[in-house]
Structure 1
Amino acid sequence: MQTTTLSFSNLHNHGDLFANLFRARRQSFIIQKNWDLPQADGMEYDQYDNPASRWVAVHDGENHVLGGFRLTPTTAQCGIYSYMIRDAQRGILGGSIPQDLLFGEAPVDPHVWECTRVFVNHATPMAIRRRVHMTMAGAMTRAARELGATQLVALTDAKWPRWYGRCGVEAEAIGRVMWIDDGEFQCVSINLASKMH
């Protein structure tokens, strides 16, 4: 099992891994969860898939994606968009995510990044799913640290307390539990300061 951090500047070095990540996202979010998201050529994408973001793929070394996620700086700006949580709070996502998702103001800080589009491929065998989760948690910490982040913010499944601790992730709620599309979600802050060594 391998992890690769992808960016617009290095994707040419990784064959079809970048496209396969977006194909696996489509399978996870559009096919499995039935979310109404943009897609093209069998890939799911949105306005935050731009050169400011990074994508981490957990894969088998043959470019078969087992899971992944996206990291976006909270300082990002592209037209009217910044990052998903902040844009939802500002009301520019059309109400698909409630504006009152955070207890306070969405951060804009070079040391705070957002983690989104977290998934485990539906085809990943149950026997290795826990290992994939652990690998993703480690990859999230390493990739964010390399980008200079001391904190991540994420809109995640509201059951996060059950498994974040098991994966060694130190997190706290920064918003209320909300029903969105097909389940309960909550914004969390993930502390990476203790991992900065």
Structure 2
Amino acid sequence: MIKLLSYKNISQNAELYFDQFRLRHREFIDRQDYDVKAHDGMEFDEYDTLAAQYLVYSEDGRTALGASRLTPVVMGCMLKDHFPHLVDDHAILSQADVWEGTRFCIDSRLPPEQRRHICQSLALAYVEAGLELDATHIIGLMPTLILRSVFERSGIALDRLGAPHAIGAHSKIQAASIQVCVEQITRAAATSGLSKVMAHTPI
């Protein structure tokens, strides 16, 4: 099950909240050699603020097996600050009802079928969380292959925000937008069989 964590419910989910940062350290620094900040085995950056909401997949309520971060773009936007060349129309980068999804990761030590299930669950959770947060769109950047294999194959429709570019070790990184609407959930349920992947936790 996926919980939506924020500063408002850390006290009830402290172990899970901090374990997602350890998962990020393993997946982004240890495995992919990202040059980002770390402290005490946890990875973080300038977008881990009080405005951030965290989607965390766990089976025991304490161990993070998958995670992603959501932030309102008006409170800081990675695409706007670091990768504006990936977006053709910059208007979407300053809209109050648009959120950005970043730091999408799955525990790479898990078996393939479990990783696939967590990927699909997080993809659907983007839309479920977006509805809770009154967002109209969630934007982000990923390798084009991941956009297709994680989101579109899970039934989540995407709009590309610009052409793909080579960034770092990836030959094709692309920005995309997810419209937040009930129809996305309906399509995802028909495609992957998943529905209501998020636990109801106070925002």
Q: Same fold (TM over 0.5)?
A: yes
Q: Does 1:86 align with 2:80?
A: yes
| 1:103 has 2:88 as partner | yes
For residues 13 and 40 of structure 1, what CA distance do their matches in structure 2 show?
23
For 1:50 and 1:113, the matched residues in 2 are separated by 14
- Count how many residue pairs are aligned between Structure 1 and Structure 2: 182
Partners of 1:181 and 1:110 in 2: CA distance: 30
1:112-150 per-residue CA deviation (whole Å, 9 max, x = no partner) reads 100000011112222311111121112111111100012
For structure 1, list consecutive stretches of 5 or more residues without a partner in the other structure: 77-81, 89-96
AA aligned opposite 2:89: G
Q: Does the alignment pair 1:166 with 2:160?
A: no
TM-aligned CA deviation for residue 50 of structure 1: 0.2
Paired position in structure 2 for 1:185 = 173
Q: Are 2:33 and 1:34 aligned?
A: yes
Aligned equivalent of 2:121: 135
Q: 2:106 aligns with which of 89, 104, 120?
A: 120
Q: Is the Cα–Cα contact under 8 Å of residues 15 and 63 in structure 2 kept in the other structure?
A: no
Aligned AA (1:103): D
Q: How far apart, in 2, do the equivalents of 1:127 and 1:153 lie? A: 26
CA distance in structure 1 between the partners assigned to 2:149 and 2:185 by the alignment: 24
Q: Which amino acid aligns with 2:47?
A: Y
Matched position secondary structure for 1:165: helix
Other-structure match for 2:62: 63
Change (3 A) 1:110 1:179: same
8 A Cα contact 2:108 2:115, kept in partner: no
The answer to whether the Cα contact below 8 Å between 2:6 and 2:52 also exists between their aligned partners in 1 is yes
> Would you say 1:176 and 2:176 are equivalent positions?
no
Which secondary structure state, in structure 1, belongs to the residue aligned with residue 86 of structure 2? coil
TM-score (norm 2): 0.84
**What CA distance in whole angstroms lies between the structure 2 residues aligned with 1:152 and 1:188?**
8
Contact 2:124/2:185 (8 A) holds in 1: no
In 2, Cα distance between equivalents of 1:191 and 1:39: 33
* SS of 2:129 mapped into structure 1: helix
C-alpha deviations, 1:57-95, integer Å up to 9, x for none? 00112412111100000121xxxxx2111112xxxxxxx
Distance 2:93 2:44 in 1: 24
Larger RCO (alpha carbons 8 Å, 6+ apart): 2
Q: Which residue of 2 aligns with 1:93?
A: none
Residue identity matched to 1:36: D
Q: Unpaired segments of 5 or more residues in structure 2?
A: 187-203
The answer as to whether partners of 1:70 and 1:115 remain within 8 angstroms in 2 is yes
